[in-house]
Amino acid sequence: MNRMRWQKVLKRVLQYWYLIAFCAFSLFPIYWTFASSLKTPDETFAMPPKWVFVPTLHNYGVVFGLTIGPEVTGVTTEEAGGGSEFPRNLLNTVVIAAGSTIMSLVLGCGAAYSLTRGQVRGGRTVLAGTLLTRLIPPVVMLVPIYVLWRSLGLLDTHIGMMFAYLSFSLPFTIWMMYSFFLDIPAELEDAAAVDGCSHLQVLWNIVLPLSSPGLAATAVFLILGAWNDFLYSSVLTQTVARTVSPLILEFITDRTILWGRLYAAGATILIPVVVFTFLVQRYMGIGLTGGALKG
């Protein structure tokens, strides 16, 4: 009995050590990004690495245009961050990501609900078509989108970027929410209809609240897709609606790489996504293991 007990204890200890090692390995790049963003250039590349240092917000000040002062010789003030466009581009990223996510959820939930309840003739064909569009690489769709947007005057606009992101976010939303809507008993909707609710009221008051875990999981993936986009923003925007992903590339100049700016910008971009994920984390487990895997 003692031997079996010690085996269980040893197994539990090994499991915890494995989890600790895995978490440390996964979280170390995030720690290094935030720690390096608070270091001076000499401390960033010190060998051996400096684990204890005095934090400085110099890199963040330059990234946000609050501080002017090149870190290395031979780099102009403009390259070092003076007159930074990062705050405006960050705001563009927030607006475009939030707008495209809301648009995709509104349109996708309506389409998925109609397909689920058999209100669309040839629903299976439509559903298969949305899956095929999801399988198309974004770079293939970029050229026709660019030509169409240029003729419609949507290049370098917020609404143009939101509609462009719908090309890959809307099919994903339809497929995710279609599976969740299938798990909701039709009897609940019939009871609401007997009480005098319209289809829109049933969707808003009955179906969407019951599928809130699916909405949360879908919203996280939609925001991540729009937040991390580099391809569409690089081609479809120039100045007005440009997001932060193309801007970060400018910290890599032909003479040097401004590592402090890169770390500070990367940490700043990471914070909103982490905060949003923590806010909806209680829905994520249900959303990822629920109806989305049954469709």
- pLDDT tens for each residue of 238-293: 889 999 988 888 888 777 788 888 889 989 998 888 887 777 777 666 555 554 34
Q: What is the pTM of this model?
A: 0.80
Distance CA 27, CA 16 (A): 16
- pLDDT tens for each residue of 144-178: 999 999 999 999 999 999 999 998 899 889 888 88
Lowest mean pLDDT among 64-73, 137-146, 214-223, 235-244: 64-73
- What structural domains and CATH numbers belong to the chain? 86-250+262-293 (1.10.3720.10)
Distance CA 116, CA 295 (A): 11
Distance CA 209, CA 225 (A): 24
Helix axes 86-116 and 259-279, enclosed angle (nearest 10): 30
**Dihedral of the alpha carbons of 86, 55, 34, 57, in degrees to the nearest 10:** -10
